[in-house]
Amino acid sequence: MGEYMDQQVPETIDQRYEVGAVIGSGAMATVYEAVDTRLGRKVALKVLRTEHAQDVIFRARFQREAEAVAALNHRSIVGVYDTGSFDIQVGSSEVSVPFMVMELVQGTTLRDAMSRGEVDQAQALAYGVQILEALDYSHSAGIVHRDIKPANVMILPQTAEDRELGEPGQIKVMDFGIARAAEEAGDALTKANTVMGTARYISPEQARGETVDARSDVYSAACVVYEMLAGRSPFAAPP
């Protein structure tokens, strides 16, 4: 068993996925590059952080949401190929750690591109349309993202076809389902500051802890589009 960052994962998971380097880490999960040895392709492996995996309610929510998101199939949504769990030893007890196997997306986040001033008006409109198309699709499947923000949008490199058509690169929306799992797990995760939703982008009803539906995602997407066009968040507070 190898140790990556602050979390232990097996070198091979489910007798199929060879775990490589860490490519991302957040409050909820760590993402590793991995190889699906059965299909001979690189994938991204999202592993729930150990402290959350020890929470029985959140672990169940995470697994349920992962399975729901795996049913989504849209060109602007990062695909989920597989879900499962593996056991690790924490102290004297054994913990079941859920994971998701996802499409490995190479590119840059919209947050990074905006920070570097690389998003012009035409790109902003194209990215905005793609985000809304992804949300329209997920909402029709009954899945609300709950954490739409520039850091959760990946911009892929332009293809030859994109350049020929004069279009910017394709975008992929990431992290569907995880915010709902965190919110529904209850007070313990809330107090740990892990419930999703960045203040600049969450809707008023989400900030108040009220029922969140598809309209909340549209609100967040509008905030992202505004920021792409104006160069600042509509609700940026002074430091």
Residues marked active site are found at 147
Distance CA 209, CA 4 (A): 35
Q: Which two tokens stand for residue 74?
A: 């849209």
Residue reference for tokens 């991204």: 44
CA torsion through residues 137, 179, 147, 88, sign? negative
Q: Per DSSP, which regions of 110-201 are E strands?
A: 153-155, 171-173
Query: What's the farthest any 2 CA atoms get from each other in the chain?
Result: 59
State how far the Cα of 45 lies from the Cα of 83, in Å rounded to an integer.
10
Buried b (16+ CB within 10 A) or exposed e, 63-77: bbbbebbbebebebb
Contacts of 114-120 with C-beta under 8 Å, sequence gap 24+, read 114/150, 114/227, 114/228, 119/228
- CA distances to 179, 180, 186 from 190, rounded to whole Å, are 11, 12, 7
CA–CA separation, 211 vs 152, rounded Å?
A: 22
